[in-house]
Structure 1
Amino acid sequence: MFEHEGVRIHYVTAGTSPVQGGGDRTIVLIHGWPQTWWEWRHIIEPLRSDGWFVVAPDVRGAGGSSKPAGGYDKQTMAGDIRALLRHLGVQKPITIVSHDLGMLVGYGYACLWPDEVARLMVSEAPIPGTAGYESAVATSKYSENRIWHFHMHGAADNAAEMLIEGHEFPYLRSFYLRLSANPDAISIADAERYVADYTQPGAMRAGIELFRAFEKDAEDNRRILAEKGKLTMPVLGLGGTASFFLPIAEKMLSEVAENVTVRAVEDSGHWMAEEQPEKLLERLRDWFQETGG
């Protein structure tokens, strides 16, 4: 556990940190909603075996981390991750692997501190402030069947929390099932673990705040793009072949990055690290080799 500006960040590591005499290869795994670091359980050990120092935090509001009243804009959350890495003694540029709303945190980190990010993998979310986001949210093909909850969760006055209260397990599990090409990938036991995390005091509200911050995220993203220009480090967009992300990925990522590669994870829906961990690892390893190891 690490505390930054009054917010406790729970994290899991694997491998040897730089201060313990490890190498310079640090990979940060940033989970999405409604998940925790547990999302990455199948790929942490293989990455460690490949020689990475693996850092998998629970973002603020999730899992074992604090549930503060605010700070759910993704640039603030990126600052939490950066402070954690400084605490762990990481100084060299990192590789970020990020999923779902964690992708927005990873993107925020790369925008704010581009010299500290060697490469960025993003997956399975639209970036607020881009035309790709506006298209995805506005188009019924996506919003009715895939990301309708963006609208509900963005409502003010705690409407989403009131509707979900008392129905947390069936509500959250519906996402694991509906957005999956392999419904058994997130087992009942895994779903119960996630739901236990998201029914802690303040946890559901914190998770919903991630969505309510989208308007500020859009403003921040547009501003930093205007100030600094597009990202120049290698950016990999990964999406499941049964998910919504691939059709919008290349055009959207090209709005914000110069060096973009988009690839598919076959036979997967939204939850790639759990549905197809071996194929995800294969895509990552290929990309690592292509971009300098």
Structure 2
Amino acid sequence: MNEPAELDLPVEGGTLRVLRFGNGPRTALAAHGITGSGMSFRAVARHLPDDWSLFAPDLRGRGGSADTPGPYGLDRHAADLCGLARHLGDGRPAALAGHSMGAYAALDAAARRPDLFDRLLLVDGGLPLPVPPGTDPDAVLGATLGPALARLGRTYESDEAYVDFFRAHPGLGPHWNADVEAYVRYDVTGAPGARRSKVREEAVRHDGRDLLTSAGLFAARLTGLGVPALLLHAPLGLLGQEPPMLEASLVDHWTGGPGGLRAELIEGTNHYTIVLGTAARTVAERFVALGG
């Protein structure tokens, strides 16, 4: 599969940059994580059948959609996914996937408009995160996304310096490959000598707070699913070590219930490599098979 075509497609209030992988008639949509981009799905797309096209939008505040105005939040991202599904519709529902934060947006989209989608693949995300009452969401974000937030506030002398920053990341550096490098290089922008991430920090903070305070909504969405759904989850977390993003007890609680969500642990992966490493083939295979 060749490098993606870059499209600017209409959504409420502007356009979203959408990366199109493949040229087949079968439409799939995939939503990325909180500081990611559509390039997160480069490896997964390569393993899809030739008759598929994977459309991976840069969500508002990220990538080529960095200047698309807010409001941000999971509700807005879900509405954008539904809008893209309508725009790209070929007379039949689209396949839908989401990784990390994108899994929550995809869950919301599939639950509110099941007529637009024929399956839902959640990748290391989508389950209500247990946050004790009275917890400050900003403190939780700082503890979990500290390195990522620090990256967004820095500038770098060159693209190579930005790449080197990611090479030192414990969850990515040991698993470096062409897909990881393409993902990193796609994210860099700015003037010479002051290169930086395309991701807007205010979007990350807004979406992160929304994610942490919307457990009730996600619970309702999971119990009322109207499409076949599968969760793929990693045994290791953001830094390539335990704990995982989704604890085993949390996965057990939300699978096999009224919504029909099933789950599969993808061994040997962390939160990033589940889509950017060799497991991308498995993710693609499960995505295709999920439709029956």
TM (norm. structure 1) is 0.72
Separation in 2, partners of 1:163, 1:260: 35
Secondary structure at the aligned position of 1:178 is classed as coil
- Name the counterpart of 1:142: none
Distance change in 2, residues 1:163/1:106 (3 Å): closer
Give the SS at the match of 2:187.
helix
Partner of 2:170: 178
Measure how far apart 1:206 and its partner are: 1.8
Counterpart check, 1:113 vs 2:113: yes
Give the Cα separation in 2 of the matches to 1:290 and 1:187.
26
- Tell me, yes or no, if the aligned pair for 2:21 and 2:54 is still in contact at 8 Å: yes
Is contact 1:67-1:206 (8 Å) kept? no
The offset of 1:59, in angstroms, is 1.1
Change (3 A) 1:281 1:257: farther
Q: What letter corresponds to residue 165 of structure 1 in structure 2?
A: G
- CA distance in structure 2 between the aligned counterparts of 1:201 and 1:56, rounded to whole angstroms: 16
Which of the pair is proportionally richer in helix? 1
Cα pair 2:44 2:276 within 8 Å, conserved: no
Distance between the aligned counterparts of 2:35 and 2:289, measured in 1? 31
Three-state SS of the structure 1 residue aligned to 2:108 is helix
Contact 2:187 2:198 in 1 (8 A): no
- Figure out how many residues of one structure are paired with residues of the other and give that number: 262
| Unaligned residue ranges in structure 2 (runs of 5+) | 1-7, 238-243
Q: How does 1:216-227 map to 2 (within 5 A)?
A: 217-218=214-215, 220-221=217-218, 225=221
Match of 1:260 in 2: 261
Q: Which residue of 2 aligns with 1:144?
A: none
Point out 4+ residue stretches in structure 1 off by more than 6 angstroms. Answer: 160-163, 167-170
Post-superposition Cα deviations, 1:126-157, rounded to whole Å, max 9, x if no partner, equal 53xx3xx11xx55xxxxxxxx997432899xx
Partner of 1:143: none
Report the Cα distance in structure 2 between the residues aligned to 1:269 and 1:251, rounded to whole angstroms. Answer: 19
Distance verdict in 2 for CA 1:73–1:216, change over 3 Å: farther
Structure 1 residue 28 displacement after superposition: 1.1
User: Would you say the 8 A contact 1:13–1:56 is kept in 2?
Assistant: yes
Residue pair 1:68, 1:206 contacting (<8 A) in 2 also? no
User: 1:13 corresponds to which residue?
Assistant: 20
Counterpart Cα distance in 2 of 1:67 and 1:123: 27
Q: Extract unaligned runs of 5+ from structure 1.
A: 139-146
CA RMSD of aligned residues (A): 3.9
Task: Output aligned runs, 1:234-249, within 5 Å.
Answer: 234-243=228-237, 244=244, 245=246, 247-248=248-249
Q: Shift of residue 203 of structure 1? A: 1.8
Give the direction of change, closer, same or farther, for the CA distance of 1:220–1:199 in structure 2 (3 Å limit): farther
Change (3 A) 1:174 1:15: closer
Listed as ranges, the matches of 1:85-124 within 5 Å are 85-124=85-124
Q: Is the 8 A contact 2:121 2:287 kept in 1?
A: no
1:139-218 to structure 2, matched below 5 A, reads: 150-152=140-142, 165-166=153-154, 173=165, 177-180=169-172, 182-185=174-177, 190-196=183-189, 199=196, 203-214=200-211, 217-218=214-215
Once the two structures are superposed, residues 47-105 of structure 1 have per-residue CA deviations (whole angstroms, 9 ceiling, x without a partner) of 152x2122111111111014455332212211112212222234422221210111111
Deviation per CA, 1:148-187: give whole Å up to 9, x if none.
Answer: 97432899xxxx96895236888x9579823459442475
Report the Cα offset of residue 16 of structure 1. Answer: 4.1
Cα separation, partners in 2 of 1:28 and 1:69, compared to 1, 3 Å: closer
| Pair 1:246–1:8, CA change in 2 (3 A) | same
